[in-house]
Chains A and B, each alone.
Chain A
Amino acid sequence: MPLCGFNEQMLNGLELFHEGLASNKIIDRFNNNKLEELERD
């Protein structure tokens, strides 16, 4: 198989990466933008 079969460790790793990606910037940026909007108001 192209990715030699995902095992649980690999899938957990990707899940962690996705969670980190989401929590790191998307949520931070959203919160920062929201904060900036609130500050402007």
Chain B
Amino acid sequence: MPICGFNKKMLEGLTALSQGLVEHGLKYRCEKNGETIEQGIKREISDMSRLIPELHRIDDTAKRILTEGIVKYAQGFYLIMRKKGIENYKEVTGKIMDYFYFMDDKFYPELESQPDDMKDLAKLLDKKEI
């Protein structure tokens, strides 16, 4: 699978989530807390890093994985934003969606069912720029 084929709705959903992370999570919260964006990103990443090791306390496997997933998504997103700057966050969000599209676009027609499909996919993802 990787992500069983992203459809338009899924990419729109992730775009809304990602843009919300910038508009609400960073811009709004930083203004409210009197922080710079850089300080806000650092604080959020630090909070998430402290949360992840505690998540083993959630017994339900699906709920634990779901929680780890969303926290890690936000963490990865903020790391990209720190690197790229939030000025062009809509463009960067678009590039992240291109990356997800690339993941499935490579997997389904080319790699699925090949002996090293996931290994090859991971190597391609490593080379794909965001």
Contacts and interface: CB of A to CB of B under 8 A. Distances in A.
B112 interface: no
B48 A16 contact: no
A16 B5 contact: no
A10 B24 contact: yes
Contacts of B12: 13, 16, 20
B16 A25 contact: no
A20 B20 contact: no
B13 A5 contact: no
- Interface extent on A, as a size class? 20 to 34
Contacts of B29: 4-5
Given A2-B48, A4-B26, A10 B7 contact: no
B10 A9 contact: no
A14 B19 CA distance: 12
B65 interface: no
B8 A20 contact: yes
Interface in A1-31: 1-7, 9-10, 12-21, 23-26
26 contacts: A2-B48, A3-B21, A3-B48, A3-B74, A4-B25, A4-B74, A6-B24, A7-B20, A7-B23, A9-B16, A9-B17, A9-B24, A10-B21, A12-B13, A12-B16, A13-B15, A13-B18, A13-B20, A15-B13, A16-B12, A16-B13, A17-B13, A20-B7, A20-B11, A24-B6, A24-B10
Interface of B: 1, 3-21, 23-26, 28-29, 40, 44, 47-48, 51, 70-71, 74
